[in-house]
Amino acid sequence: MPERLITFFVAVIFILAGCTPQIRQPTKICPGRDSVADALAALQSHSQNAVPLKAHGDCRLEYYVEGKTKPQRESLNIKLRVNPPAEIYLQGDKPLVSKAMVLGSNEREFWLAIRPKEISLYCWGLWSEQDSGGGLVINPRTLLEALGIEQIDAEQDWSLSNEGAFDVLTKRERGVVTKKIHIFSCDYRVRKIEFFDTKGQAIASAELDRYKKVSESFFVPALIKVTTFARNDEEYPFSVTLNLTSIKSNKKWPSLLFDRREPKGFKHVERIVNGRFIEQPQ
């Protein structure tokens, strides 16, 4: 399977629409934090209070098939299971097809499985084999960060600015902006995360809204919209909207749920190494 088509398929299969509510823009303005340390401490405190959770939602799977100009659509029911800080399992089902889509990770590896016969794709990778700009832009780590579970590394090069209703934390690597976190100053919850490649070019953004209380000190956005941007002619922009209708705390999930299963019955099996999709023998 040509790498261009693999990149294309991996992108478009994540277009989840359902009954898509809109991200609301705050109008109230409150004073922000005085220092980078204070802002980072607030985010770290939230992630440290993360608890295992379960969530459900309704969505639609939309993807393109080679040779067709119009997208194919499948209705999916989504269930999400999370064990902080690194274990996540997202499953999409449709009538007569269980596990039509599965996205998962543990501390060692991550994977994506798509079962519609037009795609039939299974790809996976080791976290240790990924650089900061490679692999799936929509990956389990991005989702963990959007949920407020991913730990913030305060030892990195961060700066703080204020833009109207938001405090903005900006991360730089070797002098290049690689991430911006927009925090609503009134409740100090993250409303937007921007991701950049090693050249400072925007590659993705995550917009967050409709936070729900999961535990006494932990809140999760029920509406998550992730958009990626094409950087060249061989990539395609796409977006994901997750509308979670039920989010609840849970006792710790069995680790078995977050173990990667060996692929069976897929047309295409790919291993991701630093953004490259390598065909695997079956």
Domain ranges of the chain: 3-279
Contact status, residue 214 vs residue 249, Cβ threshold 8 Å: yes
Per-residue tokens: 21: 């509510």
pLDDT value of position 41: 96
- Reported as a pLDDT band with limits 50, 70 and 90, residue 232 is low
255-273 average pLDDT score: 92
Q: What per-residue string of b and e applies to 197-226 under the rule 16 or more CB within 10 Å gives b?
A: beeeeebbbbbbbebeebeeebbbbbbbbb
Specify the pLDDT at position 20: 55
**What's the confidence (pLDDT) of residue 1?**
42
Instruction: Yes or no: say if 4 and 233 are a contact pair by the CB < 8 Å rule.
Output: no
Average pLDDT across the chain, whole number: 83
Give the fold, CATH level 3, of 3-279.
outer membrane lipoprotein receptor (LolB), chain A (2.50.20)
Asked if pLDDT for residue 135 goes beyond 60, the answer is: no
Contacts (Cβ under 8 Å, ≥6 apart) of 37? 154
DSSP conformational letter for 138: S
Residue 281 binned pLDDT confidence (cut-offs 50, 70, 90): confident
Percent of the chain with pLDDT over 90: 48
User: Which pTM value belongs to this model?
Assistant: 0.82
Question: From CA 202, how far away is CA 192, in angstroms rounded?
Answer: 13
